[in-house]
Structure 1
């Protein structure tokens, strides 16, 4: 009976050890994945900041006015060219 109990405890100990090893391995894999995702997030945040800065530069009123005049030949209408439509 004691021999059976000793074998049962040995088996439980081995199974528990395998479980611990598997849990640690999974923890390491998840930590590596987390680190990769954090790095990717940081890179995306940097790119997003650059794009916001570029968008702000292109959307400046002075820049839009410059492009409208140079490329599209647009200008402000003269006083005689303005028509007011009333309902």
Structure 2
């Protein structure tokens, strides 16, 4: 009479014999699985880097826009008419007349 334990032992023995017969095939199968997992891993890393690059490009664009606004503000604040108006109002300065001009020459 064949027992359940005997059948399981025989089954395991047959499985290992079959695996040892096809070592190359099993090795290639295992290599395929490992390579497939590596491809999935690298694809995920690539996606994360692309997302990070998009975030950095957006930050660069925002900084560039702020820089342009600062340049416009600087130009507006440095206009001659504005500087002249501040000199008149705050410092009580006036443009010199031709009689009040003094020309300095070096000997």
TM > 0.5 fold call: yes
- 1:10 maps onto 2:10 in alignment: no
Q: CA RMSD in A?
A: 1.6
> What's the TM-score once normalised by structure 1's chain length?
0.85
Shift of 1:2: 4.9
Please say if 1:53 is aligned against 2:72: yes
Flag the structure with more relative contact order, 1 or 2, with Cα contacts below 8 A and sequence separation at least 6.
1
Tell me by how many angstroms 1:40 deviates.
0.8
1:78 to 97, 101, 105: 97
Partner of 2:86: 67
Moved more, 76-85 or 59-68: 76-85
Show structure 1 runs of 5+ residues with no match. Answer: none
- Rounded Cα–Cα distance in structure 2 between residues aligned with 1:12 and 1:2: 18
The number of aligned residues is: 87
* Superposed displacement of residue 83, structure 1: 2.2
Are 1:38 and 2:57 counterparts? yes
**Rg larger for:** 2
Q: Deviations over 1:27-64 (max 9, x none)?
A: 11101101111211121122122112111111111111
